[in-house]
Amino acid sequence: MESRKQLPLIIAAFVAIYVIWGSTYMLNKVAVNELPPFMLAAIRFVIAGGLIFGMAALMGKSLRITRKQLWNSLVLGFLFLSFGNGIVVWALKFVDSNFAALIISAQPLVVMLLMWLLQGQQLRPMSLLGVLLGVVGIYLLVSQDNLLQDEHAWLGVAMIFAALVAWGYGSVFVGNADLPKNYFVSTGYQMLTGGLMLALMSLAFREPWSSPLEWRTDTLWCMVLLVIFGSIVAFTAFNFLLKTVSPEKVSTNTYVNPIVAMLLGHYFLGEPVSLQSIIAAVILLTGVYFISTNKTWRQFVRFRRKGI
């Protein structure tokens, strides 16, 4: 039951997952204008993973991990961070941050389809309606030629969809995966392994590395905000909310984050927001709502988040 004493913390936590996670698209967009994408993501997650391990140790949490748990953390680090996040950061070189955020809001749609394909979950009428609306919303979004003027824009869109599939498969995989019981420790391993794989990807693609002393001031601040707030503060707030309020309330960030990203991208980066984008967002997020309110989906979310 939600305690009145915890109400200020609950409000602050919701603000964190709404605003901070919604702002990460803009922050990555600013930083990737100067830094190579895989290098940017690698530095972010290696530092964040190290800080999380330090905080877990100070809290007296055991950092021990079995070989199986390490392997599963490696798999999830790749699916969620190395590929899932790194590819999206790369795509931001060619598409607007608010455009990417709206596509990514379709993640519940992808997860639901993967549950149907891989686990034989029945698609109920409400879910089918959500999938249909989601497809219509995505079509309206990506059919705007004025938002895809960069010569590599369509490749960026395709890679964002590939990242969605990676996230979706990771979301299904994590439900039955053997991971450290403490979510903080589990996340630390995923961030560290994902960040190290991103560093290897950066080297494989021969990205030029540079010292933070050489970065522009706005790039440096974006990295600090991504590490401290995007990776640690918002995640801590997210897990606090999962223990304090219902998962359905926490999942409202799925609807709010794209709107925050759209507003910030438009205000700070001058990214266009067309009427068609607004209509597409309404249709897409309505579809996500129908999927997220489905009983099977709610049970999956509860099960998955217990294993984080």
Two tokens at 54? 């330090």
Judge whether residue 170 has pLDDT over 50.
Answer: yes
> Which strand (E) or helix (H) includes residue 138?
helix 125-142
Dist CA 118 CA 246 (whole Å): 27
Of the pLDDT bands very low, low, confident and very high (cuts 50, 70, 90), residue 308 is very low
The predicted-structure confidence for 113-149, as pLDDT tens digits, reads as follows 888 888 777 778 888 888 899 999 999 988 887 767 7
Dist CA 154 CA 161 (whole Å): 11
Residue 81 identity (one-letter amino acid): L
Two tokens at 194? 């994902």
Q: What are the extents of the domains in the chain?
A: 4-306
b/e 71-110 (16+ beta carbons within 10 angstroms → b): ebbbbbbbbbbbbbbbbbbbbbebbbbbbbbbbbbbbbbb
The DSSP call for residue 209 is P
Residue 145: CB atoms within 10 A of its CB come to 8
Judge whether residue 250 has pLDDT over 90.
Answer: no
> Which strand (E) or helix (H) includes residue 216?
none
Task: Give the position of tokens 């249709």.
Answer: 283
Task: Give the position of tokens 């217990």.
Answer: 306
Q: For residue 19, give every residue at least 6 positions away whose Cβ sits within 8 Å of its Cβ, in sequence order, or none.
A: 260
User: What are the backbone angles phi and psi of residue 218, rounded to the nearest 5°?
Assistant: -65, -35
Q: Which of 250, 266, 246 is nearest to 258 (CA)?
A: 266
The predicted-structure confidence for 209-245, as pLDDT tens digits, reads as follows 999 999 999 999 999 999 999 988 988 888 788 778 8
Dist CA 181 CA 7 (whole Å): 27
Longest dimension (CA), the chain: 55
Please tell me the predicted confidence (pLDDT) of residue 163.
94
Across 152-180, average pLDDT: 88
Q: Which of 52, 60, 80 is nearest to 172 (CA)?
A: 80
Dist CA 292 CA 109 (whole Å): 9
Judge whether residue 184 has pLDDT over 60.
Answer: yes
Please tell me the predicted confidence (pLDDT) of residue 236.
83
Terminal Cα-to-Cα distance of the chain (whole angstroms): 22
Judge whether residue 261 has pLDDT over 80.
Answer: yes
Of the pLDDT bands very low, low, confident and very high (cuts 50, 70, 90), residue 1 is very low
Please tell me the predicted confidence (pLDDT) of residue 270.
92
CA 149 from chain centre, in angstroms, equals 25
Please tell me the predicted confidence (pLDDT) of residue 153.
85
Q: For residue 225, give every residue at least 6 positions away whose Cβ sits within 8 Å of its Cβ, in sequence order, or none.
A: 23, 27
Please tell me the predicted confidence (pLDDT) of residue 306.
38
Q: Which of 263, 244, 254, 306 is nearest to 284 (CA)?
A: 254
Two tokens at 148? 């895809």
Of the pLDDT bands very low, low, confident and very high (cuts 50, 70, 90), residue 177 is confident
SS3 of residue 244 by DSSP: helix
Dist CA 102 CA 97 (whole Å): 9
Dist CA 174 CA 101 (whole Å): 23
Dist CA 134 CA 254 (whole Å): 13
Please tell me the predicted confidence (pLDDT) of residue 248.
64
Contact 82, 117 (CB under 8 A): no
Dist CA 214 CA 301 (whole Å): 43
